[in-house]
Amino acid sequence: MWNSALEEIKGTQKVEAVVIKNVQDGSLTEMPAAAVFVSVGMIPQNQLLSTLKTDEAGYIVTDEKMRTAVPGLYAAGDVRSKPFRQVVTATSDGAIAAFGAADYIRGLA
């Protein structure tokens, strides 16, 4: 929902409804829901790495080990080109990148 913010999650033992606030006019809308996934934007914040290869949407291209085209530089999370942008996939990317970076550093010694 554009121009909206999550105001409240309702439910006792599980999510049952959400209250959404229209940030332009302040109106509140209650909607039934069984789960909540909040999206805060779809523009990758990769300005510091603007020379890296990106996909058509501007996300950094990596291999399955999170390696970029620059040796020793890894990208993980929502800045990376991938089909899903959720906490669970970003966390996984971070773990893979951390292990990959450690292997890379060990290889320099």
- 70 and 99 belong to one structural domain: yes
3 state DSSP class of 61: coil
Instruction: Indicate the average pLDDT of the chain.
Output: 91
Q: What is the pLDDT of residues 69-78, one digit of tens each?
A: 999 999 998 8
Domain around 84: 47-108
Torsion over CA: 9, 10, 13, 14 (sign): negative
- Mean pLDDT of all residues in 5-14: 94
DSSP 8-state code for residue 50: T
Write the Ramachandran bin of 14: left for phi over 0, alpha for psi from -120 to 50, otherwise beta: beta
Banded model confidence at residue 86, pLDDT cuts 50, 70, 90: confident
Q: Is 75 exposed, middle or buried (0-12, 13-18, 19+ CB in 10 A)?
A: buried
- 25 and 64 belong to one structural domain: no
For a pLDDT cut of 90, what percent of the chain falls above it?
A: 72
- pLDDT at position 40 is 66
What is the pTM assigned to this prediction?
0.63
